[in-house]
Structures are given as structure tokens and as C-alpha cells.
Structure 1
Amino acid sequence: MADLLPRIALTLGDPGGIGPELVARQLARPDTTSRAEIYLVGDERELLDAQADAGVEFAWSTEPGQGLPVLVDNGAARPSEAFERKAATREGGRWAMANLRRALELSKDGVCDAILFAPLNKASLHLAGMTENDEMSWFETVLDDGTRATELNILPELTTGRVTSHCPLSEVAAGITRELIVERYKLLEGVLIARGVESPRIGVCALNPHAGENGAFGREEIDIIRPAVADLKAAGHAAEGPFPSDTIFVLARRGDFDGVLTMYHDQGQIAMKLLGFDRGVTMAGGLSVPVCTPAHGTAFDLVGTRSASTGAYEHAFDAAVGVGTQARAAARA
């Protein structure tokens, strides 16, 4: 049944942060390679350094079919000196981007079903020459296949998606359409199903205070959001809303919803980080390959202490296995 396992490309994130330690600790767990076929993008020195960071050992191979993580060279020239630790650097950013570029190429070549990257540092990436606002926009550039990323945020008990993302608040209302709400709802629903929720219950946020108060504070709920929810219900989806954003997460925490679709970035992010910042997973959905990462950063202050929590990375691995399994099944259908 090994040919049915999801194939996941892993990268170790910014070499100056805690990413290498988190990956090594995951790979030292005996159940990791029983759940997925792993492609480790980097080089041998990076893996040895990661093992030293974590105080663990694990075996790998350069050939598939051995039941071990497969080391895939990223094709980049490693700096002659060791990467600086506990700091954002151009060299670290270049290395992290080379690993991610190779992982995205593996996807384009049909080698992997999902990508999981350890924490990055945006300052390192911009020092290395990334001109896009964030890594998700950079993924779109590298894939160059017409797909567009949208961010989903995952906790074990709740998953959120969003209709608009990294844009000024002044542009949010213009970016919300009936069709886009339906599209992003279905994407969120698919991720929940991949995570084992058979019939996801999803609440849809309003845009305006008090859900517009029957048009007194805006008509987006009347003209756009409510009709989109009606479209989803008519198609058999368990959609509810729109709910005011100051109450929907009270309902979700109570267990009324498996997922929440928000209208803009902070509408969901503030709530999710309050609910579980150290357990959260970020996923780039909507691309031709799902890409997952822990929601926290590189934690330079914890490098070398072996005290970093692995919880969010473990959840990110679980999420990558779920969506990778779904993608592999769809490809084989």
C-alpha cells in the first residue's frame, strides 16, 4: 500500500531559526514514514546540522523505495561558511528559497502531492531578493500555472478561510463577490473533509458591524454575502450566516461550526491567534499543490536550546498528510 501514501516534500525553513530542529524531531518519530513518502529538500550537511540541533538521529536515502526519507538536492551552492544562527540573513533567505523552489518544482513534475515547510523569516527572504509581499505570492510566481493562493488557518478544533487576504482595508469591500465567497467556501470545506470532517458545518462572517443592521451600516450582507450563502445551501452545503464577526467565534468555540469563512485577514487571524497561536497551522490553498507550515515564526531566541514546542509543526504535518492524501486520491481517480 506504499504507493497510496501521500508524497510530501519537506523543507527545513530558515537555517538560522528553529525549523531544522522541528523537522529533525518529526523525522525521528517512527510513525512519520509510515504515514507519508517523504522528500527532504536540502543537502546532507543541512540534515546533519538539524540532527545536532535536535539531539536525534534518523536515516535517509538518496533513492526512493527504501522506506526512508529521500534526500533531494536543491541545486544551490552552499556558502563556504556556516549559516549565521539566530538572525535574519541574505544567505539564509537564499537557501530557504532554493529549497522551496525545488519543492515546488517537484510538485510541477508530479513527484509530490503536498509541501510542508518549516518556519521562514520574511526579512531573510526580502534580503535574498524576494520582491513579492509574502511567500504565498512568491509560490504563485514560481508555479506560474495560473493558480492563486488563499490562506487558511488551522487549529485542531477549528479551521478558517478568508475571502480577501493581504490587501488594504480600504479595498476589502470591493474585493468581495458572490462568486468568490462560494469558491473560498468550497476550498475551506475541502480542507475540512481532508482533515476527517465528513460533513463540515461552516459559519460565514458578515463584513459590517452587526451584520450591516439590515442595511443601516452597509449593504454587502444583503446584496452579496447572504445570496452567496443561499447559493451554497441550495447546492447542499451546511453553510450558515452571515454572522457578525464579534459573535461568530463565540459560536465556533462553543462547537457550532467546524470552520469559519471570514471576509478579510484580521477578522479571522485575531481570533485564531487568541485561540491557539502555538498550535496553529497556515495553509496556502488554491494553488496546484497544497502548502502547509506552522503558524509561528523562526523563534531565533530558542535556537540551540531544544526547548521549542513541536506542537504546531506536528499539526502542520498532520494537515499535509490529510490534503496530500486527498490530492493523491484525486489524481488517481
Structure 2
Amino acid sequence: MTAGTGRRVRIAVTLGDVSGIGPEVVVKLLAQDAVRRRADIEVLAREDEIARAADEAGVSVPVAPTPSPDAVATMAPHVAGPVERGTISQAAGERALSDLSHALTRYRDGAVDGILYAPLNKSALALAGMNEKDELRWFARQLGFDGVTSELNVVPGLTTARVTSHIALRDVPARVTPTGVLDACELLDQALRAQGIDHPRLAVCALNPHAGENGAFGTEERDVIAPGVALARERGLRADGPHPADTLFLRAFGGEFDGVVTMYHDQGQIALKLRGFDEGVTVQGGLPVPIATPAHGTAHEIVGQGVARPGPIERAFEVVASLAEHARPAVPAPKAET
């Protein structure tokens, strides 16, 4: 049930980049009775697409005009052109963006509470005209949202947030600020509470080796990161750090912390993907609508072989459903100008 409404949570699902394994993992997800009992599901696809993908994957997906515990509903507002499988193309990017745009419209219309999308390909999205460096910034622009956002990454037992994300390493130090550290801590705390953790324990990474070694290897820890941690603690967050990144994840995976704030993309992603590449989930944190996707890619090399594992999208579905259940009722965002 969605928090405070007495109804089942409603999730829009897209096939992601249809040239990849998105259709296969989506039908393997939707074929599960437990998944359909968990939420009312709308799939942004034609019924024949779902039937064809299910037949190829060796599963059965019940479809009905309206979603229920017994069936999913399909919805295809776009005019679908041909998309070549197993290759990067403008057509695949256009289809992915069309589906995501319609999923956002369904949210604005109050029809869904969260969005789950299968893996995308950034090159295909760029060919299709997406100018943003990542989906998070694209979602924010489409929603007319200018608040604090951060990509959150989830593996079993640990969630991470970032102070900076898809930027060059040479630009990171100047973009790390006390306010940025505070913002990342607050988003991470909110996400962990939505996952059912009442008093999240947060650790904050250092930027420099050995946490700067008292200024010998850099002063960002003393001048920027520690003040940000102090601000978070003043807000009542259980934040601690900065800690050397090369040992912090050993402590976090050992159960000492529920979440880790990193300073840049690979600082956290390397650790999480080594820990659970087949279980990772990416959450578009801070947006008014919960949005999640598996952390893996489109896997063109195995398209059509029926061997794609549904585990990551199963976890992404559970994460977005949980976030949607705990989300406050949102005021529909204005439609972006086109």
C-alpha cells in the first residue's frame, strides 16, 4: 500500500534501450506473481512486444486493460519505428526517451507513484538529442526541478550518494563544498529512511589519500569536507568522517555504516560493482518521483540468447516500490518547454 492512501503502489516500467537486454529482463520480472502482487504495473510497450519478448525468454506475462495482482497493463503512446537489436542507434535512443517522457507524464497526471526503467545507452541517448551528461539531469529538466539531486547507488546492505558525479576528475576538488557534503548526506539519510532504516549511520569519504594526512596530501578534508560533516551533524544526521576511502568500504560492508557519501563517481562505484555487480541499483535521488534502474548496461553482446539475469531489475523494482510507498504526496511538476 502507498503510505497514507490505502491503495497499492503504482509503478510505470519502460523497456529501456530496446536494442539491448531491456525487454528480456523486463518480461522475466513481470512474469513473477510476487512482483505483480507487489504493485500495479503499467508497461510502456505494445502488447505484441511483450508477448514476443516473453516467448523468446521462455516466460509468460499476463496482460489486461488495467493492472492488478493478476496482470500488468500495456501502454504504447508512441509510434514505434524499427530498432535494430544489438547495436547503438538513434532510433533506440529516441524510443527510450519517448517512453521515459510518457512515464513522467503519467506521474504528472497522478497515475503512477514511481518509475522503473531498464538499462539505457548514453551514446544512443546522445544520438537521439539528449544534451545532458546523464539521465538524472535530463529527468530534472523534464520535471522542471531545480532542487538538490544526486545519483544514489544501492547494493544489499549499503547505499551511496555522491557530492559530484559525471565530471572530469580535474574538476572535482573545486566542486566539493561543505554545502555539497551536507546535501549528499541529507539525500542519503532520506533514502535510507525510505528503505526502513530509522536512524541511518552515514560515513563520509575523504578526497585525498590517507584523508590528506593532516594536510600533507591536500587540505580539502580539513577545509571543506569536515565542515560539511559538521553541518550534517548539526541537522541531526548520524554522519561521521571524513574517512580514507581505501579502508572505509571494508568497514561499511562489515556493517559499521548504512550509507557512504563519496566525493566523485568512481570512488564509490568501483567498490560497489566489485561487491555486487549483479545486484546493483541506481536511484535518481532527490527528484519528486522515485526513479530507479539496474546498475548494469544494455549488454548488446548477449541480446537474444535468453541468458540475461533478472536479479538486478528485481532489486531495482523492490527499491522503487519501497521508495514510492514512503514518498510524500507530490505536487505535479510543470511540463518542460519543448
TM-score of Structure 1 vs Structure 2, range by shorter chain? over 0.9
Consecutive aligned runs of 4 or more in structure 1 exceeding 4 Å deviation: 64-67
- When structure 1 is superposed on structure 2, of 5-14 and 45-54 the one drifting more is 45-54
SS at match of 1:275: helix
Question: CA-atom RMSD, angstroms?
Answer: 1.9
Query: Residue 78 of structure 1: which of 80, 94, 108 is its match?
Result: 80
Q: 1:24 corresponds to which residue?
A: 27
d(CA) in 2 for partners of 1:122, 1:172:
22
1:68 is the counterpart of 2:71: yes
d(CA) in 2 for partners of 1:221, 1:84:
49
Q: How does 1:142-157 map to 2 (within 5 A)?
A: 142-147=142-147, 149-157=149-157
Q: 1:41 corresponds to which residue?
A: 44
SS at match of 2:197: coil
Q: How does 1:245-324 map to 2 (within 5 A)?
A: 245-324=245-324
Q: Indicate how the Cα distance of structure 1 residues 219 and 87 shifts in structure 2: closer, same or farther if over 3 A, else same.
A: same
- When structure 1 is superposed on structure 2, of 169-178 and 254-263 the one drifting more is 169-178
Q: How does 1:1-333 map to 2 (within 5 A)?
A: 3-63=6-66, 68-73=71-76, 75-79=77-81, 82-147=82-147, 149-327=149-327, 330-331=328-329
- Cα deviation, 1:247-282, whole Å, max 9, x if unaligned, reads 111211222111110011111111111111121111
- When structure 1 is superposed on structure 2, of 108-117 and 8-17 the one drifting more is 108-117
> What residue identity is the alignment partner of 2:272?
M
d(CA) in 2 for partners of 1:268, 1:102:
32
- When structure 1 is superposed on structure 2, of 18-27 and 144-153 the one drifting more is 144-153
SS at match of 1:4: coil
* Superposed displacement of residue 241, structure 1: 0.8
Structure 1: runs of 5+ lacking an equivalent: none
* Superposed displacement of residue 24, structure 1: 0.6
> What residue identity is the alignment partner of 1:6?
V
d(CA) in 1 for partners of 2:213, 2:308:
46
Structure 2: runs of 5+ lacking an equivalent: 331-338
Scaled by the length of structure 1, the TM-score of the pair is 0.92
Asked if the contact 2:204/2:262 (under 8 Å) is kept, the reply is yes
d(CA) in 2 for partners of 1:150, 1:240:
19
* Superposed displacement of residue 99, structure 1: 0.6
> What residue identity is the alignment partner of 1:76?
H
* Superposed displacement of residue 124, structure 1: 1.9
d(CA) in 2 for partners of 1:272, 1:203:
15
* Superposed displacement of residue 22, structure 1: 0.8
Q: Indicate how the Cα distance of structure 1 residues 238 and 147 shifts in structure 2: closer, same or farther if over 3 A, else same.
A: closer
Scaled by the length of structure 2, the TM-score of the pair is 0.91
SS at match of 2:329: helix
* Superposed displacement of residue 33, structure 1: 1.9
Q: 2:333 corresponds to which residue?
A: none
d(CA) in 2 for partners of 1:57, 1:64:
16
Asked if the contact 2:36/2:69 (under 8 Å) is kept, the reply is no
- Cα deviation, 1:161-218, whole Å, max 9, x if unaligned, reads 1111111222212212222211211111121122222221111011122112222222
d(CA) in 2 for partners of 1:321, 1:244:
34
- When structure 1 is superposed on structure 2, of 117-126 and 141-150 the one drifting more is 141-150
Percent of counterpart pairs with the same letter?
Answer: 46
- Cα deviation, 1:133-183, whole Å, max 9, x if unaligned, reads 222222122222324542111101211111111112222122122222112
Q: Indicate how the Cα distance of structure 1 residues 43 and 21 shifts in structure 2: closer, same or farther if over 3 A, else same.
A: same
d(CA) in 2 for partners of 1:138, 1:148:
14
Size of the alignment, in residue pairs? 327
d(CA) in 1 for partners of 2:35, 2:68:
15
d(CA) in 1 for partners of 2:66, 2:160:
38
